[in-house]
Amino acid sequence: MPLNLIKKYNQLLDLDYLSEKERITSLINIFNRDIRDNSSFKFRTKQVNPISTETDAMELLFKHLTTTIVDIKTRKREFETNRSKRLHWVKFHIDETDISKILVFSVEDPNGIRTYIYDEAEKYVIILEPYRDENEYYLLTAYYLTGRNKDKIKRKYKRRLPNIV
């Protein structure tokens, strides 16, 4: 379990052999290190915040980064291996550690303007939303692209805004 803390991009976290409790502990340790306890968690000088202002915002963000919706009506979420194994990639991409590996663009979506950090080679996307007069971002989610999601991101890129918001 502690070995996951030394994993780097583009290695995957080792979660398959862990019990559910060990897996959650391992993921929370990475989440705390990279996001919750990271006072300089910024994308292009703008502070990145959890997806809401609720008191349990970090817990909600953790869920968005490690689970997926399995029932749209009830909004029930379950553990999602592909997201979770890449949890430590969020900081790598937010920090733009290797800009040759990513496309960054903003798009007007039905829910407003969103900024995408897209790693085409690894099929990974992070979604940010401008917050408070565009001086900060909400981190909405991050996930591994599968199936038709790859085509959706490519269509979004084609209709990107001229500037990153």
- Over the stretch 77-116, which tens digit does the pLDDT of each residue have? 999 999 999 999 999 999 999 888 899 999 998 888 999 9
Q: How many Å is the maximal CA-CA distance in the chain?
A: 46
* Domain contains 163: no
In a domain, 124, yes or no: yes
Residue 37 forms part of a structural domain = yes
| CA distance linking residue 130 with residue 139, whole number of Å | 9
pLDDT in the model for residue 134: 73
- Is residue 131 included in any domain, yes or no? yes
Task: Please say whether the beta carbons of 116 and 109 come within 8 A.
Answer: no
- For position 70, what pLDDT does the model report? 87
> How many domains does the chain contain in total?
1
Q: Identify whether 154 is part of a domain.
A: yes
Answer yes or no: is 43 within a domain: yes
Query: Is 164 a domain residue?
Result: no
Give 151: exposed, middle or buried? Use CB within 10 Å, 0-12, 13-18, 19+. exposed
Task: Please check whether residue 30 lies inside any domain of the structure.
Answer: yes
Task: Write down the residue that tokens 């060990």 correspond to.
Answer: 22
Range of the domain at 101: 2-158
46 pairs with which residues across the strands? 43
Looking at residue 52, its pLDDT comes to: 63
Residue segments in the chain with a per-residue pLDDT below the cut of 50: none
> What is the reported pLDDT for 1?
56
